[in-house]
Amino acid sequence: MYSEAATALATDLGLSKGRANLEVFAAAVQDLAEADRDVLAVTSDSRGSGKLGPFGQALPRQIVEVGIAEQNLVGVAAGLASTGKIVFAVSPACFLATRALEQVKNDVAYSDNPVTLVGISAGVSYGALGSTHHSLHDFAALRAINNVEVCAPADNFEAEQAVRYAAAADRPVYLRFGKAPLYDLPSDAPVQPARARVLREGGDGAFLASGETVIHALLAAEHLAREHGVQCRVASLPSIKPLDTDEVATAAVTGAVVTVEEHMVTGGLGEACAASLLQAGLAPRLRIAGIPDEYTVTGSQADIFRHYGLSMEGLADTMRSILGH
């Protein structure tokens, strides 16, 4: 996942590697369900890949398996939520955000059923399985539907906070989780809905990142500071919708902004930030770092990140290019 230089820098910064966010999700949901029998998990043949095996063993009456039928998954989850149940609908993100999109739009969002939609193995987590299994469109699809919040936690702390927030929410929430173990980020500030989490201060430029790309943006900023004397602000934006427009505006003050996401450059975090900046009358130099409008290369998540410049080195180069260094 990381180059030797990136791993060494993370170690030097004292960052420790935790679990995959998906594992944190499963543990948090089980904790909630043990305390409240109205908490249910509904899966589409995803008990194993969703790390819900222990949940099913401990609470067999609180898990519903619908098989490989994502549209049924969302419909059943919406029905259960309409009766007052607290429902987590768990499915691979690549299928949940496309195959079941009509049910998300009508049964969940339009009908105002507070289902937590959980997209697992998101982004390019499935790596070598290729574009059919990559979820690089979910931000765009779900941002376009009214009444759905979209959240991509960057580390275990953000993941647990997001799960507990979603369980208490009175509206639909989409949570996006990958498979890789993640570094714990250097901030224990409470995660608030629609608020960014500032990880590093700096006035020469700013990285605005989401999900599993945040650590790469943070390492890029540290690399730039040590090797080139460039000081960059870094913020994690776990909430893609609603967006923390105040943080986007603050980042713009630096004059150079790089947005970073494990998503197509179309319709995701970068375009949301660009629209916010234009509407606020702000015009920093801006680059959207993500997956271009093409079928992705085949390889591991690390291979794909390196290929598209989402690694520490690639992001540092992108910032240097817009700064003219």
Q: What is the rounded average pLDDT of the residues 153-176?
A: 96
Kindly report the CATH number that applies to the domain delimited by 18-183: 3.40.50.970
**Does 18-183 match 4-16+187-323 at the fold level?**
yes
Give the whole-number percent of the chain exceeding pLDDT 90.
89
What is the model's pLDDT at position 132? 84
8 A C-beta contact, residue 43 and residue 70: no
For residue 310, what are its two tokens? 């989402």
For residue 62, what are its two tokens? 């609180």
Place of tokens 């549209």: 71
8 A C-beta contact, residue 169 and residue 114: yes
The SS3 of residue 223 is helix
What is the model's pLDDT at position 251? 98
Euclidean distance between CA atoms 280 and 276, whole angstroms: 6
What is the model's pLDDT at position 126? 86
Percent helix / strand / coil, the chain, rounded to 5: 45, 20, 35
What is the model's pLDDT at position 127? 84
What is the residue extent of each domain of the chain?
Answer: 4-16+187-323, 18-183
Task: Write the single-letter amino acid at 105.
Answer: K
What is the model's pLDDT at position 57? 95
pLDDT score of 189 more than 80 = no
Residues 6+ apart with CB under 8 A from 291: 124, 136, 262, 263, 264, 265, 304, 308
| 69 band by pLDDT with thresholds 50, 70 and 90 | very high
**Tens of pLDDT, residues 219-229:** 999 999 999 99
What is the model's pLDDT at position 191? 76
What is the model's pLDDT at position 51? 94
Q: What is the rounded average pLDDT of the residues 30-50?
A: 95
Q: What is the rounded average pLDDT of the residues 7-23?
A: 93
| 70 band by pLDDT with thresholds 50, 70 and 90 | very high
Q: What is the mean pLDDT of the chain?
A: 95
Could you please state the CATH topology (level 3) that the domain comprising 4-16+187-323 is classified under: Rossmann fold (3.40.50)
Euclidean distance between CA atoms 135 and 152, whole angstroms: 13
**Spatial CA neighbour of 310 closest among 296, 24, 181:** 296
| 133 band by pLDDT with thresholds 50, 70 and 90 | confident
For residue 190, what are its two tokens? 């409470």
What is the model's pLDDT at position 129? 84
| Exposed / middle / buried, residue 307 (Cβ in 10 Å: 0-12, 13-18, 19+) | middle
pLDDT score of 262 more than 80 = yes
Helix (H) or strand (E) holding 73: helix 70-82
pLDDT score of 240 more than 80 = yes
pTM more than 0.85: yes
pLDDT score of 247 more than 90 = yes
Angle formed by the axes of helices 4-12 and 214-228, to 10°? 80
What is the model's pLDDT at position 190? 75
Euclidean distance between CA atoms 239 and 85, whole angstroms: 24
Rg (CA), the chain: 19
